[in-house]
């Protein structure tokens, strides 16, 4: 039940992504103009761009670390369960 609910929430979140992107153009008085995804060159200052790219890289490495750790824990649990079944 929980997995199904999580899947529905994920799908609904994915459906909203294009609307969120277009809302910048549809509601110009409520949102600032885009600075990264412009048709011309992005106007983000270099210090902010460096910080953004560093943060993306850091969180990507953190995510990979979490996945590797979780995979290792799952393998250890399977090994422990198979040892218990053999005894």
Provide the 8-state DSSP code for 32: P
Pair (51, 72) in one structural domain? yes
Same domain, 8 and 24: yes
Verify that 31 and 52 share a domain, yes or no. no
Averaged over 48-73, what is the pLDDT?
96
Q: How many CB atoms within 10 Å of residue 34?
A: 13
Across residues 27-54, what is the average pLDDT? 80
How far is the C-alpha of 29 from the C-alpha of 68, rounded, in Å? 44
Q: Say if residues 32 and 25 touch (Cβ distance below 8 Å).
A: no
Residue 21 pLDDT: 82
Q: Say if residue 65 is in the same domain as residue 81.
A: yes
Asked if residue 38 has pLDDT above 80, the reply is no
Token readout for 22 is 């277009």
In the predicted structure, residue 30 carries a pLDDT above the cut 70: yes
Same domain, 25 and 55: no
- Residue 34: pLDDT band (50, 70, 90) is confident
In sequence order, what DSSP letters do the residues of 57-68 get, joined into one string? HHHHHHHHHHHH
Range of the domain at 81: 44-87
Q: Do residues 49 and 25 both lie within one domain?
A: no
What's the structural domain count of the chain? 2
Mean pLDDT of the chain: 88
């Amino acid at each position: 039940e929980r997995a199904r609910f999580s899947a529905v929430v994920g799908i609904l979140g994915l459906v909203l992504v294009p609307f969120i992107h277009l809302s910048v153009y549809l509601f110009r008085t409520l949102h600032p103009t885009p600075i990264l995804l412009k048709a011309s060159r992005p106007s983000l200052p270099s210090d902010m761009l460096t910080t953004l790219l560093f943060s993306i890289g850091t969180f990507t490495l953190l995510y990979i670390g979490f996945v590797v750790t979780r995979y290792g824990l799952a393998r250890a649990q399977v090994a422990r369960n198979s040892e218990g079944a053999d005894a």
